[in-house]
Amino acid sequence: MRPLLTTLIVALLSACSDNARLLDASVDLPLPLDDAPLEEPAADAPDAVALDAIAVDVADVPSLDVESPARPFGATVDDGGVTFRVWAPGAMSAQVSGDFGDHELLSEDGGVFAARVAGARAGQGYRFVLRRGDQTLSRVDPRARATSDGGAVVLDPGTYRWRTARFTPPARREAVIYELHVGSFAPQPGSRHGTFADVTARLDALADLGVNVIELMPVNEFGGAAWGYNPKLWLAANAAYGPPDELRRLVDEAHARGIAVLLDVVYNHYDGWARAPMRCFDGDCPDGGPGVYFFSDGRYRNTPWGPRPDFTRSEVASLLLDGVATWLDEYRVDGFRWDSVSNIRAIDGMGEVPGGRDLLLRANALSRRLRPGALLIAEDLKGWGGITQSPPAGLGFDSQWDGFVYDVSNALAVSSDDARSLAAVRAAMLGRYNNDPFQRVIGTENHDTVGNGGARLPQRIDGADPGSFAARKRSMLGAALSLTVPGVPMLFMGQEHLERGTFASAPAPLDWSREAGFSRVRAFYRELIRARRNLDGATPGLLGANVSVIHFHEANKVIAVRRWDRGGDDVVVIANLRNRAYARYDVGLPAGGTWNVRIDSDDPRWSEDFRGRAAGTVTALAQPYDGLGFTRPIALGPWSVVVLSRR
């Protein structure tokens, strides 16, 4: 039973530019594996300022009638039994069949069937049996919270005993995200794929690296351990990854180490397989359509990856909102990354999908009620600032994936220094939405750029040897830019040890032997993250929203930017994007006195064949340069970054 959740949903539902680069929509392909318990893939299946929160007033959230949570759907456990309830408006009658026997469901208003089964209990399997004319349909509960052997399992979410108290996720300006795929992150030798427990076992290593947010690629039921962007059940944890309590334990143990957990959720489309559990659910699917849970209007029915949920139907919207609430309330996750928002609010960013905007507003408001400080991220990739504006003008997300990852990684992958566009890198470094740089998530690798025909950045730089001097130098340069310019930085799993290759449809496990082979590179990432989070108190300027370019030389491929928060806490980042070492390179500085060399990516600590200097101090000269009152000649290694701070 979930009285807190019910109260909050009732309260919510009754109340109720930009320097970014415009990109084509990037929606993750559904990529099934052959061990999927709920599917057999069809032959045509597609392989500074107050910036820490977006204010949402419930009065700005449009109203949307939904089924009252006072009669909860799915399987609800009480002291002496379980109440089963299902929405199947096309069915004439229904029963629930399970380990407790067969029980007829009573008809309620609105195409709903329900009954309480005395003696039923958590852990028992069940299915709904729907009758329509001469059809008898055996169906998985759309609101199943656990599955086994292709059917639903009654789950009591209140039995897990949490070890940690309620957790507050980091503010955006302090967050460093680590995106990972449970199935390929750290599977045990001989296993076909990884599990929640395998991720939990490596949390200490992630904490040591310094990341304070992990973003899990989809973990709801999708069948197998592929990418996960072929959703089948929105409220159930993927059984292939382990039982629900193992996901709770993963969140629990992450919180104990100061790490927030975000889930990647896919509400823009449903699985493309014609026999997926919710398709033609109650037998009413005219003209071969996907059925009652999806748009019947041909203008909105389909996406390239599967049918689009009908956001205008209150029963469908309440199901999706219940999914949001389930993960926040029953699993205590700290927020979401919403896949392809451009296909919820619109069709690939064009026009408007009925009900999509209302769903997003409602889900974001609900998330903030259930989890104060929740981090809500959108993948939209249309350069629209309304994604991260407060309602009613915008959708109220905290941040959104940004074109930085494409602009910077593409620039670094170019083999010719002369062909490298420093102007494109500068534009990426200065990007922001609504004058807030932390409304964008930045990095040089994510699952889309590494997969979908792409490759790891070191692999793109040197396909023959992803561990070569050039591959190490330029990929580390990209990491330094991601972690020193304003934005919410994100790493993709294995990036810290120069993982090579691509992210295939059935991803290969990470090669953790590279962690030892490139331990110095990992140490460099660790040092960068410490500086980005100001863990040593020496780089507070990196937490600020303020940035200005103080030096730009396209021919030399050298750029320097000043970062600061409140003044007097300046950090200067100097980047050399050319394979040329400078014994002295003059750069203007905003203040005189002593400056500390915090990081030099050419430092021999990071590799024996690097030739830079270790951390130390330099003194600014009272000589005007770059329009500033002081200057300092700096030694720059090839393809390197130097970070200076006043503290």
The three state secondary structure string of 124-136 is CEEEEEEEECCEE
Report the C-alpha gap between 171 and 305 in whole angstroms. Answer: 34
Q: Which residues of the chain have pLDDT under 50?
A: 1-51, 58, 64-68
| DSSP notation for 84-125 | EEEE-TT-SEEEEEETTEEEEEEEETTTEEEEEEET--TT-E
pLDDT score at 32: 34
pLDDT score at 71: 80
Domain ranges of the chain: 17-71+211-398, 74-141, 540-645
CB atoms under 10 Å from CB of 417, counted, come to: 15
Same fold, 74-141 and 540-645: yes
The CATH architecture that domain 74-141 belongs to is Sandwich (2.60)
| DSSP notation for 471-506 | HHHHHHHHHHHHHHSSSEEEEETTGGGT--S---SS
List the beta strands (DSSP E) in 498-567.
Answer: 546-553, 558-564
- CATH class of the domain defined by 540-645: mainly beta
Q: 65 exposed, middle or buried (CB, 10 Å; 0-12, 13-18, 19+)?
A: exposed
Report the C-alpha gap between 142 and 271 in whole angstroms. Answer: 13
pLDDT score at 542: 98
CB atoms under 10 Å from CB of 556, counted, come to: 17
Report the C-alpha gap between 127 and 138 in whole angstroms. Answer: 7
Q: Which fold has domain 17-71+211-398?
A: TIM Barrel (3.20.20)
pLDDT score at 629: 97
Length of the chain in residues, anyone?
647
Is residue 526 within 8 Å of 536, Cβ to Cβ? Answer: no
Q: Which amino acid is at 266?
A: V
CA atoms within 13 A on the CB side of 448: 22
Report the C-alpha gap between 494 and 514 in whole angstroms. Answer: 9
pLDDT score at 307: 97
pLDDT score at 57: 56
pLDDT score at 29: 41
Q: Which amino acid is at 294?
A: F
272: tokens are: 């493309």
pLDDT score at 614: 74
Is residue 91 within 8 Å of 139, Cβ to Cβ? Answer: no
Describe the chain by its helix, strand, coil percentages, rounded to 5: 25, 25, 50
The residue to which tokens 């979930």 are assigned: 2
Q: In this structure, are strands 213-216 and 260-265 parallel, antiparallel, or unpaired?
A: parallel
